[in-house]
Chains A and B, each alone.
Chain A
Amino acid sequence: MSDNETAALAADERVKEMSGFRKALIRPELGGIAGAILVFFFFFLTAYDSGMFSPAGVMNWSIVSAQFTIIAVGACLLMIAGEFDLSVGSMIGFAGMSIAILSVSFGWPIWVAIIVTFILCMAVGAFSGWLVIKTGLPSFIVTLAFLFILRGLTIFAAIATTRKTIIGGIRDVSEGDWLAPLFGGKVLTGFFQWMGDNGWIETFTRGAKQGQPVVEGIPMLMVWAVALIIFGHILLTKTRFGNWIFASGGDAQAARYVGVPVNRVKIIMFMFTAFCACVFATAQVMEFGSAGADRGLLKEFEAIISVVIGGALLTGGYGSVIGAALGALIFGVVQQGLFFAGVESSLFRVFLGVILLLAVILNTYIRRMITGEK
């Protein structure tokens, strides 16, 4: 007993003398910041003259990063609330197909199709959240079931209505619509044209687009990504609901005892994840002009990996939206950067596995530091 006591006291004193470095280390974003610097440094050295950092190149990896960011913000808040959603990828395919079938096959106005799809997806998210709460099963299992259910339904619905697994023609039906440009449009086009006119950015030198800048504007996808980061970060760190998210994931029972509506928090987070998947899907459908039944494959894991690289704990209760966004940025830069650097693209998966492993090991170590375990 006396030995334990002294050990405990000694441990206390050690924690109290925590150095600035250790203090910085327990900020969830640190891994993301360090990783992002490292990745940019690496590609500056290896791929600078490949066009990766020209306006078109920047736009290339920014769009990919923005895609990852959109689903990572949802996955991040859900993971901090203590749950997973493995059905994100299938949800993306499902949402895209729903928009295509409702607008192209059924002939509904595209804005109605988009709104109905958002409602449908968030209802599915709420239902899987409700199932997790009511059955007490791990969200891993419940959402794994939805991964298959939604993917199967998507393929079935596509075949049953059109006998195809890819439905095109979205561009035609979204012509002149008020809601579609919110997902598929571009902003600041005038600014980019102006920069092109002044010769500050590259312009097309021949063809139909002669004189137009190579980069026409900021796609709405990126606006959505930034908006979701800001929204998620403020929600998590600056509001009462954010405190409830941390509490629900940190220890649901302790949170319930002080009156935190844990079930409501978790179900809302499942719905938010579905919302993010839906934003991703809508933007993708608008960009491609078509919906495919196999869209979004493996996206759930890419979202989770981004979140984990960003410093969130898989066990919940700890993490940061900024970190998740940095994780998504690293993800996008590396995926496109390896292409620019001319590296065999299969190596990307090797890199992914390695960085995931490193991130999880680092996070576990950090968790031990926070909770004072040895």
Chain B
Amino acid sequence: MNTDQTPIIEMKNIEKHFGPVIALAGVSLSVLPGECHCLLGDNGAGKSTFIKTMSGVHKPTKGEIYFEGKPMHFDRPRDAIAAGIATVYQDLAMIPLMSVARNFFMGNEPMKRVVGINLFDHNLANEVTMAEMKKMGINLRGPDQAVGTLSGGERQTVAIARAVHFGAKVLILDEPTSALGVRQTSNVLATVDRVRKKGVAVVFITHNVRHALAVGDRYTVLNRGLTLGTSERGKITPEELQDLMAGGQELATLEGSLGGTV
């Protein structure tokens, strides 16, 4: 990968305070087009706050955000979506009672005019949904199949396909694999890989080092609201990542007793 590229999004010294609580105390991160940047950290490290700042949910207390080289201020999530930053949340990606096609076009419904009235173009929506699902390797019984019948991994995949279809340049995935089984996880990771090859930048949040190593190009570790540095693929071992996530505390004793399984 060419590291001289301009980052598509660059966050500089982001601070976020919630009243007296300092959630982020100067976090910097840059994401290049077509890379998968893994954001690792233990619970409470500030991962969620950080990506919510990136996706316009929170406004940073201090720090700058550059999008494609230009300074940006997101007041609302809609601003970030309009700029091309899409976020896929673990539990809140899809609505189970609605059909796949209705979910896919939720908020972006295609329209056609019938006798002067704007109607939802169901035919187009169904066709596009079936085609996109096929590309992602999901065989639907029909576009009217409810999302509730899909597995957790398939739902994540549909959400990712949706974001990419509607022109996301940066895709933020909030712990997409944390609730999934082995097979579903590998499906989602394969999807991430496919999306990255299209030139979409992926920010992949996880606390699972193995998932991060499987798809990540670069790794940034957060701990207690601070960046503990960014390293590239192949220049860091799983053990080092694990130690960084735990804040450099010796996991050795723990790992000894667990046989290196964490």
Residues on A lying within 8 angstroms of B by beta carbon are 1, 4-5, 8-9, 12, 15-16, 18, 26, 234, 238-240, 242-244, 246-247, 250-251, 253-260, 313, 317-318, 367, 370-373
Other A-B contacts than A4-B181, A246-B102, A258-B81, 9 sampled, CB-CB below 8 A, are A247-B98, A247-B106, A250-B96, A250-B98, A258-B106, A313-B97, A370-B146, A371-B97, A371-B149
Q: State whether the Cβ of B235 lies closer than 8 Å to any Cβ in chain A.
A: no
**How far is A10 from B41 in the complex, measured between Cα atoms in Å?**
35
B107 lies within 8 A of A1 (CB): no
Q: Which B residues, 125 to 178, have Cβ-Cβ distances below 8 Å to chain A?
A: 141, 146, 148-151, 162
The closest CB in chain B to the CB of A12 belongs to B151
A246 lies within 8 A of B95 (CB): yes
**How far is A49 from B116 in the complex, measured between Cα atoms in Å?**
49
For B141, list chain A residues within 8 Å (CB).
16, 18
Q: List 15 A-B contacts (CB under 8 A).
A: A12-B149, A16-B141, A18-B141, A234-B119, A240-B111, A240-B118, A243-B109, A254-B95, A257-B92, A258-B81, A258-B108, A317-B95, A367-B97, A371-B97, A373-B148
For B102, list chain A residues within 8 Å (CB).
243, 246-247
CB distance from B233 to the nearest CB of A (A): 28
For B97, list chain A residues within 8 Å (CB).
246, 250, 313, 317-318, 367, 370-371
For A247, list chain B residues within 8 Å (CB).
95, 98, 102, 106-107
For A250, list chain B residues within 8 Å (CB).
95-98
A240 lies within 8 A of B120 (CB): yes
CB distance from A17 to the nearest CB of B (A): 10
For A4, list chain B residues within 8 Å (CB).
181
Q: Which B residues, 81 to 114, have Cβ-Cβ distances below 8 Å to chain A?
A: 81, 87, 89, 92-98, 102, 105-109, 111
The closest CB in chain B to the CB of A248 belongs to B95
**How far is A75 from B5 in the complex, measured between Cα atoms in Å?**
55
Q: Which of A18, A251, A258 has the most CB of B within 10 A?
A: A258
Total A-B contacts with CB atoms under 8 angstroms apart: 98
For B118, list chain A residues within 8 Å (CB).
239-240
For B120, list chain A residues within 8 Å (CB).
238-240, 242-243
Q: State whether the Cβ of B70 lies closer than 8 Å to any Cβ in chain A.
A: no
B183 lies within 8 A of A5 (CB): yes
CB distance from A259 to the nearest CB of B (A): 4
Q: State whether the Cβ of B78 lies closer than 8 Å to any Cβ in chain A.
A: yes
Q: State whether the Cβ of B21 lies closer than 8 Å to any Cβ in chain A.
A: no
**How far is A257 from B86 in the complex, measured between Cα atoms in Å?**
9
Known: A15-B149, A239-B119, A371-B146. A251 touches B183 (CB 8 A): no
A243 lies within 8 A of B106 (CB): yes
